[in-house]
Structure 1
Amino acid sequence: MNEISINIQEELFKIWLEKELLPNFEKWVYESTELKENLNPSFYYELLSFNYKQKNAHPELKKLIESQISQSDVEKWKITKDLLNAKNRTENYSKSIRNFYSLYCKGYDFMDNLAFDYGLTLECPYSYYKVETFDELTETQKQTLINKCYPDIIVEIEKVLNWIENGKIKLIGETNEFGKLEYVDNRTDLEKDIYKEKNKTVEKGSWWEFWK
């Protein structure tokens, strides 16, 4: 993204998340002098001429925004959406929690606590209900398992959000030669807080025994 103010980035992020009403965003686009002064002219014109009343306006606007920002910012927004969904228990937040484990497996090692303490618990609930997948659970079982994550998961979510916001974790939005998602890790050794002892325990026995 071009060097623009935090205020503009936040407004674009809110509408990308579909947390802002289209009429409000449209009004802001027309009235904001800051927007006109900070965006490149072509993007600004596209926002002005966009049909905010068209069918599927939100998805189309998201595509427009994504075409004008860096892949790094898109990746940051996507992971932030999952983190906020899980923190605030909005939308399909159980899917966001499960996605923490998927993101760890794809290369985001800094998600280790969220992945193993919460994401894997939902993704592989065998130790609780003797079934292999979350989708095999009854609705009651799903909710019971989800509730076990709270409130402790919020502390870990806020930790990761702070790392991303403060530049301790810089997402790149690209994969390396091994197909793993890349990021820049500026955390201290203490902040990394990798569960070495837990990992050793897993190696010694069956993983489902470890999660009991």
Structure 2
Amino acid sequence: MHPVELTFYKLVSKEIELTKFENWVYSETALEQTLSSDDYLEIISINYKTPSGLYEAQKVLSKYFSMGKYYEWSIRNVLCKIIEKPNDVHKYIEQCYDLYCAGFGFMDNLGLGYGLGLTCSDDFNGKVDDFYPQIIEEVKRVILWLDSGKIVITGHSGEYQGVEYHDNRNAKEKEPTGYKIQK
């Protein structure tokens, strides 16, 4: 992944503060080579101290980087954290529920089967330990779908339906495993 692209993704996901991003804009030589001269002038002219600074930067940079790739990168980061199991892993498992609610229906097993249970619990650690190692299998399934192109995130906003994606999974792969549908 191109370093400029990675920094853009970190900006969109708010993993980098706007002041640090501003300093990066003024010092990163690859940025000038990546953007057109007009867009480079625009990005260095943004007033990053205003509330609209983030929006304006995203508007310029989104011409160069796919939002579909951004969402895939973001989902992969969450999934990798669940595999790594840091002390605060519960927040990444909960994010699976948020992703499902945001329109990523292929996250149903992780979101509804695991994430929803944590959003209603005060005892994260006890419950999280019960999820392992089964949750790892679900995470690996989603990663496999992304790797194989069975899930392709277009990044186009479907307005009220969330971010659109192409679901090329077969019926068996779409069956819920982490929860049961009530009939």
TM bracket (short chain): 0.5 to 0.7
User: Cα offset for 1:15?
Assistant: 2.5
Find the counterpart in structure 2 of residue 117 from structure 1.
Answer: 113
**How has the CA–CA distance of structure 1 residues 92 and 116 changed in structure 2, closer, same or farther, with 3 Å as cutoff?**
closer
Q: How many residues align?
A: 174
Find the counterpart in structure 2 of residue 153 from structure 1.
Answer: 135
User: Cα offset for 1:13?
Assistant: 0.9
Which protein has the larger Cα radius of gyration, Structure 1 or Structure 2? 1
Give the conservation status (yes or no) of the 8 Å contact 1:14–1:20. Answer: yes
**How has the CA–CA distance of structure 1 residues 185 and 87 changed in structure 2, closer, same or farther, with 3 Å as cutoff?**
same
Find the counterpart in structure 2 of residue 102 from structure 1.
Answer: 101
CA distance in structure 1 between the aligned counterparts of 2:59 and 2:90, rounded to whole angstroms: 25
**How has the CA–CA distance of structure 1 residues 40 and 99 changed in structure 2, closer, same or farther, with 3 Å as cutoff?**
same
Pick one of 175, 178, 182 that aligns with 2:158.
175
Pick one of 37, 46, 49 that aligns with 2:45.
49
* TM-score of the pair, normalised by structure 1: 0.57
CA distance in structure 2 between the aligned counterparts of 1:151 and 1:55, rounded to whole angstroms: 46
- Residues 1-212 of structure 1 correspond to what in structure 2 (within 5 A)? 6-20=2-16, 22=18, 25-52=21-48, 54=49, 60-68=52-60, 69=62, 73-74=66-67, 77-78=70-71, 80-81=73-74, 84-85=77-78, 87-88=80-81, 89=88, 92-93=91-92, 95-103=94-102, 106=103, 108-122=104-118, 134=120, 137=121, 139=122, 141-150=123-132, 152-157=134-139, 159-161=141-143, 163-164=145-146, 167-172=149-154, 173-175=156-158, 179=161, 182-186=164-168, 189=170, 193-195=173-175, 202-203=181-182
Percent identity between matched residues is: 25
Once the two structures are superposed, what CA deviation does each residue of 1:120-171 show, in whole Å capped at 9, x if it has no partner?
A: 4335xxxxxxxxxx2xx4x3x3443344334543553455356446754322
Once the two structures are superposed, what CA deviation does each residue of 1:97-116 show, in whole Å capped at 9, x if it has no partner?
A: 3214424xx4x332233134
**How has the CA–CA distance of structure 1 residues 196 and 74 changed in structure 2, closer, same or farther, with 3 Å as cutoff?**
closer
* TM-score of the pair, normalised by structure 2: 0.63
Q: Give unpaired runs (5+ residues) of structure 2.
A: 82-87
User: Cα offset for 1:17?
Assistant: 2.5
User: Cα offset for 1:14?
Assistant: 1.8
**How has the CA–CA distance of structure 1 residues 142 and 22 changed in structure 2, closer, same or farther, with 3 Å as cutoff?**
same
Find the counterpart in structure 2 of residue 131 from structure 1.
Answer: none
Give the conservation status (yes or no) of the 8 Å contact 1:83–1:157. Answer: no
CA distance in structure 2 between the aligned counterparts of 1:23 and 1:76, rounded to whole angstroms: 25
CA distance in structure 2 between the aligned counterparts of 1:91 and 1:150, rounded to whole angstroms: 12
Q: Give unpaired runs (5+ residues) of structure 1.
A: 124-133, 205-212
User: Cα offset for 1:12?
Assistant: 0.9
**How has the CA–CA distance of structure 1 residues 196 and 29 changed in structure 2, closer, same or farther, with 3 Å as cutoff?**
closer
User: Cα offset for 1:73?
Assistant: 3.7
**How has the CA–CA distance of structure 1 residues 62 and 157 changed in structure 2, closer, same or farther, with 3 Å as cutoff?**
farther
Give the conservation status (yes or no) of the 8 Å contact 1:83–1:161. Answer: yes
